[in-house]
Amino acid sequence: MANTRSSKLEMLKSTDQVLAYLSSVSDASFPDGFRRPKSVTELTTGIGNGVHRLILNTSPPTTQHEAAAQTPSTAILKHSTPYVFQIDGQTVVWDLWPFELYALRDVPNTEFVKTPKVYWVDESNRVMITEDAGPKSKTLKNLLLGETIPGPAAFAKIGEELGKYLSKLHTWGHSTEALSKYENKDARVIASWRTCGRLEEVLSKEYPNLSQDIKEKVKIYCDEEKSKALNGNTTVIMGDFWAGNVLVNLTEAGELESLYIVDWEMIRPADAATEISQMVAEVWEAGEFSSSPDAKSAAKHLNLSLCSEYGRNMGPLPKDMLREVMLGGGAHVAVWVSIGFAEQGNEVTFKKARDSAMQIIEKALGEDTQLRAHEAQDWGFSVLGR
C-alpha cells in the first residue's frame, strides 16, 4: 500500500496557490531559482494531481561552469493528493504518490527515451519539481491528431525507440528487487477495474445480440485479466503507457530529438501484453480520429516499429502474446474510445471503431490463427505472432 498519510496542503490548482506555496517553502535545500518564477502555467489539474509549468528567471550562462550549474529555464511542479472513490461498492483510495517518485529515480533511460529528472521533492506535502520535456513538446496523441503531421519515417522512428525502451524497462522490471519495490496495490485495484472490469457492461450495451458463446468467452477473459491485474508478477510495467503520456520533441527538420515518458503513478507488476496493448490501441485510435489523411498510415508505421523492435530486443516472446495484445487492445478501444476521443468523434465514428475492436476480439477468441494474423495487420501488431 502506498503511503496514505494525507498532506495538509490543499491541491495546488491555481497559479496563485502555486506561487504562494513556492514562496512559503523553508527547506534549506530548495533552489532559489524555483522560489520566484517569472510565470506559472497550468497544464493539468486531474484526479489526484495538479501539474504546472514554471517559467524561471534565468540569464544566459557566460562560462562553461555557469552552464553546468545553471537553473533550467522551465520546470514542472506536480502536486499529488489521495482521491477516494467507489468501485463496485468498495471504497478505494487512489494514493499512488511514492511510486512515481521512485520510478523517476530508478527506471532506465535510453538515448532517445527518457524520464524527467527530479530536481527537488517535498515528500511531506507530496510536491515535486522535475525536468520539463520542453515548452515545444507535444504529446504523441496530439502529434497524431494534428492537421499536418510529420512523415511516416518520424513515426516509425518513434515506434522503434519506444519498442527499444519497453524491452529495456521490462528486462529491468524482472528483478525480484523491482517487483517487490513496485508492489503498488492501489494501482492493481484500479487496473483490475478500469477496462476489463467494464468491458462486459459496454459490450452488452453496444452489442445486445452478441452470441452467448462470445459473451462467455469474454467473461472468462475479463475474469482472468482482473485476476492478473491483482496478482500478476511477470515484470514491472509503466502501467499507463499511452499516447498522452509520451511527450515528443522533433527537430526543425521533423526528425526525432527526444521522447519523455511521464505520469508513472500506475507503475506496478503485471505483464508485457498489458503494456503494449494499451499503447497500440491508443495509437490506432489517434490514427482513426485524426484530421490528417496521413495519420492512419503514420499510426500503423509506429505500431509496426514498436512491436517489431520490442520482439527483436526481447527474444522469443510468449506464444500467446499476439492473442493477449489483440484482446487487450480491442477491450481498450471498446471501453475508452468515446471517452478519450470525445472531442474528435461522434456516435457513428465511435461505433465504427468499436466494430473494428469487436472484430479483433472475436478473432482473438477464435481458433483460426490465419484470420487472427490477417485482421491484426491494420493495427500493426501482427509481428508479435511471428
pTM of the model: 0.91
- Tell me the backbone φ, ψ of residue 247, rounded to 5 degrees: -100, 130
DSSP 320-362: THHHHHHHHHHHHHHHHHHHHTTTT--HHHHHHHHHHHHHHHH
Q: Exposed e or buried b for every residue in 263-292, given b needs 16+ CB within 10 A? A: bbbbbbbbbbbbbbbbbbbbbbbbbbbbeb
CATH T-level assignment (fold) for domain 138-385: Aminoglycoside 3'-phosphotransferase; Chain: A, domain 2 (3.90.1200)
Q: Exposed e or buried b for every residue in 188-218, given b needs 16+ CB within 10 A? A: bbbbbbbbbbebeebbeebeeeeeeebeebb
What are the grid coordinates assigned to 134, written together?
A: 520542453
pLDDT at position 2 over 60: no
Q: How far apart are CA 51 and CA 39, in angstroms?
A: 14
- Which tens digits make up the pLDDT trace of 114-123? 999 999 999 9
pLDDT at position 281 over 80: yes
DSSP 239-291: S--SGGGEEEEE-TTS-EEEEEE---TT-EEE-HHHHHHHHHHHHHHHHHH-S
What is each CA distance from 74 to 40, 54, 130, 290, in whole angstroms?
Answer: 10, 5, 9, 30
Q: What pLDDT is stored for residue 69 in this prediction? A: 53
Sign of the Cα pseudo-torsion (139, 140, 141, 144, in order): positive
Closest by Cα among 186, 217, 226, 196 to 92: 186
- Which tens digits make up the pLDDT trace of 87-132? 677 776 778 888 999 999 999 999 999 999 999 999 999 999 999 9
- Sequence-distant (≥ 6) Cβ neighbours of residue 141 within 8 angstroms: 242, 243, 244, 282, 286
Per this entry, what is the length of the chain?
A: 386
Closest by Cα among 289, 63, 259, 267 to 155: 259
Q: What pLDDT is stored for residue 8 in this prediction? A: 72
**Total Cβ atoms within 10 A of residue 366:** 14
